[in-house]
Chain A
Amino acid sequence: MLEDKLLVIKCRRGDKDAMCRIYGKYKNYLLTLARGLVGEQTTAEDIVHDVFVKFAISARQFQLTGSLKGYLATCACNLARDKIRERARQNKALDSAEPIFPDSENPEQRAIDGEELSQLRLAIRQIPYEQRETVILHLKGGMKFREIAGLQGVSVGTIHGRYRYGLDKLRSLLKSEAQK
């Protein structure tokens, strides 16, 4: 936290080493979040790219009021929503029945993840976006329900519900997959 404050101050002055350190510190965290939210690897990488570029552009005026990690996670989340909406609009315009983001899992990725995580990634894409966002931000983003409620503009009770329903849905999807 203290290091982040210092890094932000240095970034304001255009310190490239500080920016590299912020990138190195949070790149994998953001990629995991983004991939959990949009599913597709390439889109997740684009989100991470855009988060850091936007941060760099605004670095001169940037004021850190909370945690840098939380700020970057919120940015990634907002960009993920934009990508999902954009893709949904494109599909609607083309009258396409394709999923929002196609299954891009390749054999290599499946080997890296193992069977369990590959099934989980597929299952995560099938649950409603608000539930997915809640589950990923809480479990992988380390965000509190209160923070997610603020981000989604709903009550903490609603977030509790989304989290519970999301986990139930994931559980049932994984169980049905296991029974196949």
Chain B
Amino acid sequence: MKPADNIEHIVKKLNDSTSAEMDERVLGDVLQALEQSQKATTPKRRLIMKSSVIKLAAAAAIIIAISVVINQFDNWTTNVAWADIAEQFESVPFFNITIYVGNDTSSEAHKIEIWKSENSRIRAHQGNNIIFADFTNGKEDFIAFDRTTKQPANNEGLFLVKAILNDLCPEGRFSLDTLINSFPSDTNGLTPVETADTAASRETIVFEAGHKTTPEWILIWALRGSKLPIQIRFRDPRSNECSDIFFNYSEKKDAKFFDPNTFITQ
């Protein structure tokens, strides 16, 4: 054996790999533990709501609350509900969104840009990746390229964009509700309500939603006239996580922009 002059170099060569048998054993236990942890933390609200009397009482309370809120809204000049914003967004033929994910103080935010065409084709930019997605015919089809080499890429960026697109447009249907519920850890149906801050501007309307079980919150800015969202901010004070999504409806790209073959040959 040679004298160990460069001991650091030799230590770095140590590499162990798990066997298929170990993977099967560990993953079996891990997935079972994950399933049990989800069951163990089923919200009490769901358990309580199993009673039909309580369900009826809750429904009555909600109806009364909605009536009160509607009466309140009647006093305002233009009433825009969250449902209007969500509905209007789904009818937009094309858009461009820019997502910044990161900690608002310590590190640089990661940026992802997504364009949607009129026929539900998607082009996304993340780092050095360019991802094309096709949601036509009710099925999703992803392909990713390295921006510089134009060679196919299959890496972290592709996974990330796929995950975001799957949250944003399950089954090819773009929805604000799925988008706002994809960020927080608790997915028990966030429904944003208008905030008092709206008075600051007549053109914009601001919705907010916060979780009962966690300190996470979401703010959504929308235009009162067009009923379209222009910004969404998700914030988790526990980890300083802050994500911003900016919407743009003025940049219509032609069909070539969404065509992977055109990208390769350009």
Contacts and interface: CB of A to CB of B under 8 A. Distances in A.
A136 to B, nearest CB: 8
B37 A57 contact: yes
Q: What DSSP secondary structure best describes chain A's contact surface? A: helix
A154 interface: no
B159 interface: yes
A175 B6 CA distance: 11
Interface string A162-180: 0000010011001101100
Interface in A95-130: 115-117, 119-121, 124
A10 B185 CA distance: 8
B101 A5 contact: yes
B48 interface: no
B17 A117 contact: no
A13 B185 contact: yes
Contacts of A9: 183, 185
A178 B14 contact: no
Given A27-B23, A52-B30, A120-B11, A59 B1 contact: no
Contact of A23 (B15, B26, B41, B156): B26
Interface string B56-72: 00000000000000000
A44 B16 contact: yes
A49 to B, nearest CB: 5
Contact of B29 (A10, A13, A44, A53): A53
Interface residues of A, number: 56
Contacts of B37: 14, 56-60
B7 to A, nearest CB: 5
B49 interface: no
A116 B11 CA distance: 10
A135 interface: yes
B45 interface: no
A28 B16 contact: yes
B53 interface: no
Nearest to A55: B30
A6 interface: yes
Contacts of B38: 13-14, 60
B16 A121 contact: no
B55 interface: no
Contacts of A12: 185
B212 interface: no
B7 A174 contact: yes
B3 A175 contact: yes
A174 B3 contact: yes
Interface stretch (A31-39, A68-76, A80-88, A144-152): A31-39
Contact of B30 (A19, A44, A61, A135): A19
Nearest to A11: B34
Nearest to A173: B4
Contacts of B7: 167, 170-171, 174
Interface string B135-169: 00000000000000000000010011001100000
B44 interface: no
B214 to A, nearest CB: 9
A65 B23 CA distance: 27
Q: Which 8 A-B pairs have the closest CB atoms?
A: A174-B4, A56-B33, A14-B38, A56-B34, A178-B1, A3-B156, A12-B185, A31-B16
6 contacts: A2-B156, A12-B185, A53-B29, A120-B14, A171-B7, A174-B3
